[in-house]
């Protein structure tokens, strides 16, 4: 099930033009030379004349994506499609039905360089059917597409193919990643590199305008030249629910589609290798065994079914997808993905290189779904963590317990429905925080190191036991958080600086917060939080109540991680505990 929502992109490129045309199928007036009439008649158990319908649509663009829509749900025995080039018709190609969705339609057929597209249906009786065509032409920027959403492995962005953000139905839903499903787009295998962005635009238009989906159905696509492309938006580092399969599968398994028809030809080696890299990166990010299993929907009949962690579309549905020449390689694909995951440590965030201080802790935090960063792939490790984000971090670290947020906010500056309202009100109900005496929570204020100690101390139930002491020269015994800081130091979660200071009033940066949380769980285990009976408890404050910020940060856009709306990165303050390494941590996934 979805665990949150992803934000719309904060920048949207202007889309290249995609045209849509529709034509109703009519009874054919002559022999169309269809190859399957005899087979169709045999299926009906009669030699009577079949009902043949046809439609034709002209195209002046470079790329044409055609599908037949059956609004009444009546399914003909056969559907055929062909392109017309300079007055000469291509051979007829069978169009299988696409039952992924509530409506009945065929798979789309991708054609390049045609002047027109023609379809025909064969059945015992006429049906109401419509030819729907999306077309797009190659632009100058398509030829030089080089904007990347991810660097290792390289994944070209939605900006690179000029996705039409205006037709996307926001917000994107977040799910989880427990596997990968491989598809093929079908259609032409003869497209050029420059035509790929136009093909992607037409597929997006087909999925949104033709099928009623939120956006492109696939999370990723790979072309025959070995280039990977970002499909559905929301961020390539996010567990975004897609539309490539049935129901629950979309929220648990990401979809990657190979561009072409691999029922007819073998996929290029460069294509398969890039797909392997994209799958390996995504599974490593979410600690998924490529030889494991996951569950998904049981196809159009409902229910659920077990799927391999790396599956083909036909494992879930009655379809030829991803084509026999891909499906026959599934074992090899799993082995190669396993090999890549064992030899390559992919960066979890674009701005957190492998080997950076606290990088294992930030990777751990992401694997626990406590934070998955921003949709642009960054974590912003040197940015101080704000109080609203801290609420979300603590709530998720506690396992995202069931909680019904109140209809009336406990804080005057936290409106009902604002980002992280659910988490902030949970934090208040648990008495981990009660806000300030003036009734505010101050969600955009940074969390200082002394308050952070108090949050973790309360998250773990204010552990009783022998009082511990500390030797921090800048933490006075009368400090309101002296006990909490001593507990944090005595447990080894923090060691302070070499000069003997703790620096209680310094803000906690996001990289250090990941380390503190990781060490706490390693030391004490997962926190179990019980909501107590309401009782007044003043909010301890590390410093005199600050003057309210006259210009608070804008409300964070609801997104897949506890991150406020991106703001210019501040000058990095000193990273906590620079002289000490984090406590030993488990080997990260992969």
Q: Please count the other Cβ atoms lying within 10 Å of the Cβ belonging to residue 101.
A: 16
Class of domain 18-29+46-136: mainly beta
Rounded Cα gap, residues 95 and 499, in angstroms: 73
- Tell me the sheet residues that pair with 106: 97
The phi, psi pair for 141, rounded to 5°, reads -70, -25
At 401, list the tokens.
């317990």
Rounded Cα gap, residues 468 and 488, in angstroms: 9
Among 120, 145, 110, 3, residue whose Cα is nearest residue 54: 120
Q: Which residues contact 452 (CB under 8 A, 6 or more apart)?
A: 390, 508, 513, 516
Residues of the chain with CATH 2.60.120.380: 18-29+46-136
SS3 of residue 6 by DSSP: strand
pLDDT digits (tens, 9 = 90+) for 191-225: 999 999 999 999 999 999 988 899 999 999 999 99
Which CATH homologous superfamily contains domain 140-343? Peptidoglycan recognition protein-like (3.40.80.10)
Q: Which residues contact 278 (CB under 8 A, 6 or more apart)?
A: 153, 155, 220, 222, 228, 256
The predicted model scores a pTM of: 0.76
At 275, list the tokens.
């797909």
Q: Which residues contact 362 (CB under 8 A, 6 or more apart)?
A: 348, 349, 352, 379, 381, 510, 511, 514
Among 227, 345, 337, residue whose Cα is nearest residue 277: 337
At 428, list the tokens.
């208040």
At 477, list the tokens.
């015994």
Q: Which residues contact 331 (CB under 8 A, 6 or more apart)?
A: none
Rounded Cα gap, residues 18 and 133, in angstroms: 10
Tokens 């030379």 belong to: 33
CA 420, 425, 427, 433 torsion: positive or negative?
A: positive
Position 200 scores a pLDDT of 96
pLDDT digits (tens, 9 = 90+) for 400-420: 999 999 999 999 999 999 999
Write out the DSSP string of 416-435. Answer: TTSTTHHHHHHHHHTTS---
Position 151 scores a pLDDT of 87
Position 42 scores a pLDDT of 45
User: CA Rg, the chain, in Å?
Assistant: 28
The phi, psi pair for 110, rounded to 5°, reads -100, 125
* pLDDT averaged over 10-residue windows placed end to end, the chain, 590 residues: 38 64 90 69 55 93 93 88 94 82 82 94 91 92 86 94 94 93 95 96 93 95 98 94 89 96 97 98 94 80 80 91 97 98 92 93 92 90 96 96 95 96 96 93 96 95 71 88 92 92 96 97 92 62 41 33 34 33 29
Position 29 scores a pLDDT of 85
Rounded Cα gap, residues 339 and 590, in angstroms: 10
Residues of the chain with CATH 3.40.80.10: 140-343
SS3 of residue 485 by DSSP: helix
Rounded Cα gap, residues 235 and 550, in angstroms: 33
* 391 neighbors 544 (Cβ within 8 angstroms): no
pLDDT digits (tens, 9 = 90+) for 510-568: 999 999 999 999 999 999 988 876 655 555 555 444 333 333 333 333 333 333 333 33
Rounded Cα gap, residues 119 and 84, in angstroms: 11
The CA angle 320-321-324, to the nearest 5 degrees, is 65
Q: Where does 187-329 have alpha helices with state H?
A: 196-205, 247-252, 269-285, 324-327
Among 226, 224, 317, 228, residue whose Cα is nearest residue 265: 224
Residue 359, H or E segment: helix 359-367
* 46 neighbors 153 (Cβ within 8 angstroms): no
Position 298 scores a pLDDT of 67
């Amino acid at each position: 099930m979805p665990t949150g929502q992803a934000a719309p992109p904060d920048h949207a490129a202007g889309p290249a033009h995609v045209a849509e045309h529709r034509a109703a199928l009519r009874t054919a007036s002559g022999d169309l030379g269809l190859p399957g009439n005899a087979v169709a008649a045999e299926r009906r158990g009669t030699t009577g004349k079949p009902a043949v319908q046809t439609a034709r649509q002209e195209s002046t663009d470079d790329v044409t994506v055609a599908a037949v829509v059956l609004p009444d749900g009546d399914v003909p025995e056969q559907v055929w499609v062909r392109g017309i080039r300079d007055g000469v018709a291509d051979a007829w190609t069978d169009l299988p039905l696409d039952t992924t969705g509530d409506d009945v339609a065929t798979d789309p057929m991708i054609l390049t360089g045609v002047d027109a597209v023609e379809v025909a249906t064969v059945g015992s009786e006429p049906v109401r059917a419509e030819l729907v065509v999306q077309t797009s032409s190659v632009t100058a920027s398509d030829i030089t597409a080089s904007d990347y959403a991810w660097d290792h492995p390289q994944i070209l962005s939605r900006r690179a193919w000029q996705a039409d953000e205006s037709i996307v139905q926001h917000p994107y839903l977040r799910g989880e990643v427990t596997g990968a499903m491989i598809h093929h787009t079908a259609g032409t295998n003869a497209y050029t590199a420059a035509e790929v962005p136009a093909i992607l635009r037409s597929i997006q238009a087909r999925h949104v305008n033709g099928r009623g989906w939120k956006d492109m159905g696939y999370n990723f696509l790979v072309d025959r030249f070995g280039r990977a492309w970002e499909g559905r938006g929301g961020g390539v580092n996010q567990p975004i629910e897609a539309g490539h399969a049935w129901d629950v599968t979309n929220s648990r398994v990401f979809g990657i589609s190979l561009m072409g028809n691999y029922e007819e030809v073998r996929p290029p080696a460069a294509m398969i290798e890039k797909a392997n890299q994209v799958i390996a990166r995504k599974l490593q990010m979410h600690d998924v065994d490529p030889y494991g299993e996951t569950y998904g929907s049981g196809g159009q009949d409902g229910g659920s079914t077990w799927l391999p962690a790396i599956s083909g579309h036909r494992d879930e549905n009655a379809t030829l997808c991803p084509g026999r020449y891909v499906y026959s390689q599934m074992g090899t694909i799993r082995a190669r993905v396993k090999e890549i995951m064992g030899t390559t440590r992919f960066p979890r965030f674009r701005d957190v290189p492998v080997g950076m201080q606290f990088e294992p802790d930030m990777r751990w935090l992401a694997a626990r779904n406590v934070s998955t960063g921003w949709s642009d792939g960054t974590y912003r490790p040197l940015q101080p963590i704000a109080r609203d984000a801290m609420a979300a971090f603590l709530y998720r670290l506690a396992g995202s317990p069931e909680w019904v947020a109140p209809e009336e906010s406990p804080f005057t500056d936290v409106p009902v429905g604002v980002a992280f309202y659910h988490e902030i009100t949970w934090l208040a109900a648990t008495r981990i925080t009660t806000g300030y005496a003036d009734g505010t929570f101050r969600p955009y204020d940074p969390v200082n190191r002394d308050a952070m100690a108090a949050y973790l101390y309360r998250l773990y139930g204010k552990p009783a036991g022998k009082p511990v002491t500390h030797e921090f020269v800048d933490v006075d015994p009368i400090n309101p958080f002296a006990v909490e800081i001593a507990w944090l130091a005595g447990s080894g979660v923090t060691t302070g600086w070499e000069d003997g200071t703790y620096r209680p009033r310094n803000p906690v940066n996001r990289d250090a917060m990941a380390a503190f949380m990781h060490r706490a769980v390693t030391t004490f285990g997962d926190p179990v939080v019980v909501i107590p009976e309401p009782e007044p408890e003043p909010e301890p404050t590390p410093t005199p109540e600050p003057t309210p910020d006259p210009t608070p940060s804008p409300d964070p856009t609801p997104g897949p991680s506890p991150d406020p709306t991106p703001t210019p990165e501040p000058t990095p303050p000193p990273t906590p505990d620079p002289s000490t390494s984090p406590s030993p941590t488990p080997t990260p996934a992969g």
